[in-house]
């Protein structure tokens, strides 16, 4: 007796179709699975046996050999329980449906329930790429595939129902309702709650246009965290392609992403390296990948462990992270915007107008060295903040609210799109060029810093609604190059 069923595996975020051949022959009772199965799959034999029995299928007391191919792909994931069970079942009963056109995924419990699995979107994408349009999956995963067109999904809660459907040829596609996840009901925060600090809010606005990494430096209580957290109220929505990318990441983690809202991750400073960039045990995406297409916010960046900060260097430059375990490696995307805050010195009062800093030079130097040794050069913009003066306290921010900032950002991005599609490059006028030349010659700027500065000036020009970087745009961009001022204190 022989059968062949199809399933898929995920490597990184990419799904690939695999086939499972099953051969049952007379002989001593024996069940072997070959073709690079992981430990989890070897364990699935017990679940499959128990689940089949519970579903009224007499488990054969014969030799069962199952082969998974292509051989080079590591077969990993409890979602292969169901196809393994189907392989055995289809040797025993005569299926009334054409199995070759169907992909199977699902984890089995001992009593035959079909449990939800992770990575559904990547698996389904693998099926589609292989030309498979019919998919059998756990009912609980159904909402995840709501947005995918041209597929027929058969959703089941337990193996028994699936066995009957296959036996009698009565499979009916589930209706994939357009599940809409409501945008988390109004972010209750708004930039208009911030008092003063207009230049820092403006820096956030610019950074959001160009995804510039921004470091906010200032004494405790000056509003750094409050402003950084409000960035999430003005982030532009994800495009459909980016939405799918993010949804795949969250599907792999067994979670739902929140539609077109950009992720905003603010890990605690006690986070480990593995949690930040991804687990080395199970090759599970870390915080940086969850932040893909969104923001990674590190509040009080110097409180984070040095090895954690160091581990961010590569992911920030490459927009991707490579995890390796034994001989297997996977690459996950992590194109995020980095926002961080820090005090200018251990006591926090250094560079503050009316306050005395109690740190000595050595302490300040050691403090700042931790950052410059790790990821200072990964920031594009720096904004130095001071405490808000008393005269500002009486009134809330009159110039900025989240709605206004958000619509300015959207306008700037629309202009960028228009310029790109008509092949127009943003250029600098001669006055701005000569200012830039002088600034560069003053030695305050590296080559790398030079190109970063240009990118920021471009974002400012877009916000101004122009395709020319003029003196005003460039001067403002230079104002966010406070890195040498920070280092001067070394």
Q: Pick between residue 226 and residue 359 the one whose CB is nearest to Zn ion.
A: 359
CB of 354 to Zn ion, least distance (A): 14
State the minimum distance, in angstroms, from the CB of residue 199 to Zn ion.
22
For Zn ion, the closer of residues 120 and 347 by Cβ is 347
Q: Which stretch binds Zn ion (CB under 5 A): 212-220, 270-278, 330-338, 356-364?
A: 356-364
Nearest CB to Zn ion, comparing residues 365 and 378? 365
Residues that contact Zn ion, how many (by CB under 5 A): 5
Shortest distance, CB of residue 351 to Zn ion, whole angstroms? 9
- 308 interacts with Zn ion by CB under 5 A: no
Task: Determine if 36 is a binding residue for Zn ion (CB under 5 A).
Answer: no
Phi, psi of 156 (to 5 degrees): -135, 150
The reply on whether position 357 binds Zn ion by CB under 5 A is yes
Closest of 341, 253, 254, 239 to residue 294, by C-alpha: 239
Binding range to Zn ion, per CB under 5 A, among 16-24, 130-138, 228-236, 351-359 = 351-359
Nearer to Zn ion, 368 or 462 (CB): 368
Regarding 359 and contact with Zn ion (CB under 5 A), the answer is yes
Strand-pairing partners, residue 329, are 324
Q: How far is the CB of 477 from Zn ion (least distance, A)?
A: 29
Q: Which is nearer to Zn ion, 96 or 366 (CB)?
A: 366
Q: Which of 66, 71, 57, 73 is nearest to 5 (CA)?
A: 66
- The residue from 80, 288, 345, 469 that contacts Zn ion (CB under 5 A) is 345
Gap between the Cα atoms of 472 and 109, Å rounded: 65
Which of residues 349 and 481 has its CB atom nearest to Zn ion in the complex? 349
- Shortest separation between residue 227's beta carbon and Zn ion, angstroms: 22
- For the chain, report the end-to-end CA distance as a whole number of angstroms: 77
350 is an interface residue for Zn ion by CB under 5 A: yes
CB of 132 within 8 A of CB of 111?
Answer: no
Instruction: Decide if residue 347 touches Zn ion (CB under 5 A).
Output: yes
105 is a site residue for Zn ion (CB under 5 A): no
CB neighbour class for 391 (10 Å; exposed up to 12, middle 13-18, buried from 19): exposed
8 Å CB contact between 152 and 135: yes
Q: Is 388 in the site for Zn ion (CB under 5 A)?
A: no
Candidates 36-44, 61-69, 81-89, 349-357: pick the segment binding Zn ion (CB under 5 A). Answer: 349-357
For Zn ion, the closer CB: 271 or 359: 359
Tokens of 272: 């480990």
195 vs 357, beta carbon nearer Zn ion: 357
Question: Per CB under 5 A, does 368 bind Zn ion?
Answer: no
Return the biggest CA–CA distance within the chain: 91
Smallest distance, Å, CB 215 to Zn ion?
A: 18
Of the candidate spans 50-58, 305-313, 347-355, 457-465, the one that interacts with Zn ion by CB under 5 A turns out to be: 347-355
**342 contacts Zn ion (rule: CB under 5 A):** no
Q: Is 137 in the site for Zn ion (CB under 5 A)?
A: no
**Residue (18 or 345) nearer to Zn ion, CB:** 345
Q: How far is the CB of 349 from Zn ion (least distance, A)?
A: 5
Rounded Cα gap, residues 368 and 357, in angstroms: 15
Tell the smallest beta-carbon distance from residue 218 to Zn ion (Å): 12
Q: Which is nearer to Zn ion, 358 or 418 (CB)?
A: 358
Quote the least distance from Cβ 368 to Zn ion, whole Å: 11
Residue partners of 255: CB distance under 8 A and separation at least 6: none
Q: Interface with Zn ion by CB under 5 A: which residues?
A: 345, 347, 350, 357, 359
């Amino acid at each position: 007796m022989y059968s062949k069923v199809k399933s898929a595996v995920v490597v990184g975020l990419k799904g690939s179709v695999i086939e499972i051949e099953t051969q049952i022959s007379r002989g001593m009772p024996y069940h072997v699975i070959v073709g690079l199965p992981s430990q989890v799959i070897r364990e699935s034999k017990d679940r499959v046996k128990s689940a089949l029995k519970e579903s009224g299928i007499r488990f054969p007391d014969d030799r069962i050999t199952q082969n998974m191919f292509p051989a080079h792909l590591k077969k990993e994931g409890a979602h292969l329980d169901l196809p393994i069970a189907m392989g055995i079942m289809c040797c025993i009963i005569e299926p009334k449906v054409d199995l070759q056109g169907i992909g199977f995924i699902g984890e089995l419990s001992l009593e035959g329930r079909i449990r939800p699995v992770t990575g559904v979107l990547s698996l389904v994408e693998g099926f589609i790429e292989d030309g498979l349009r019919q998919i059998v999956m756990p009912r609980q995963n159904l909402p995840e595939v709501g947005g995918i067109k041209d597929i027929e999904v058969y959703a089941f809660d337990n193996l028994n129902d699936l066995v009957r459907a296959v036996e009698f040829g009565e499979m009916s596609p589930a209706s994939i309702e357009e599940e809409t996840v409501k945008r988390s009901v109004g972010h209750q925060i708004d930039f208009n709650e911030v008092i003063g600090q207009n230049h820092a809010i403006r820096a956030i606005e610019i950074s959001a246009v160009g995804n510039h990494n921004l470091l906010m430096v200032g004494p405790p209580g000056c509003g750094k965290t409050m402003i950084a957290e409000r960035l999430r109220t003005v982030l532009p929505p994800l495009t459909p392609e980016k939405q799918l990318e993010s949804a795949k990441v969250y599907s792999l983690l067994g979670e739902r992403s929140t539609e077109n809202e950009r992720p905003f991750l603010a890990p605690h400073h006690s986070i480990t390296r593995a949690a930040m960039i991804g687990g080395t045990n199970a090759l599970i995406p870390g915080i940086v990948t969850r932040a893909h297409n969104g923001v990674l916010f590190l509040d009080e960046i110097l409180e984070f462990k040095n090895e954690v900060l160091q581990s961010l260097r590569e992911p920030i430059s490459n927009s991707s992270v490579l995890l390796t375990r034994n001989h297997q490696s996977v690459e996950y995307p992590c194109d995020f915007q980095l926002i961080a805050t820090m005090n200018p010195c251990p006591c926090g009062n250094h560079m503050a107008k009316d306050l005395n800093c109690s740190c000595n030079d050595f302490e300040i130097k050691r403090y700042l060295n931790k950052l410059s040794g790790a990821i200072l050069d990964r920031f594009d913009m720096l904004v130095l903040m001071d405490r808000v003066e008393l005269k500002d306290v009486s009134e809330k921010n009159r110039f900025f609210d989240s709605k206004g900032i958000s619509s300015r950002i959207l306008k700037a991005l629309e202009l960028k799109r228009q310029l790109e599609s008509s092949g127009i490059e943003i250029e600098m006028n001669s006055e701005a060029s000569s200012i830039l030349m002088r600034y560069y010659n003053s030695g305050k700027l590296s080559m790398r810093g030079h190109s970063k500065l240009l990118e920021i000036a471009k974002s400012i020009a877009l916000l101004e609604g122009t395709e020319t970087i003029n003196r005003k745009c460039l001067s403002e961009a230079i104002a966010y190059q406070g890195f040498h001022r920070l280092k001067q204190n070394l």
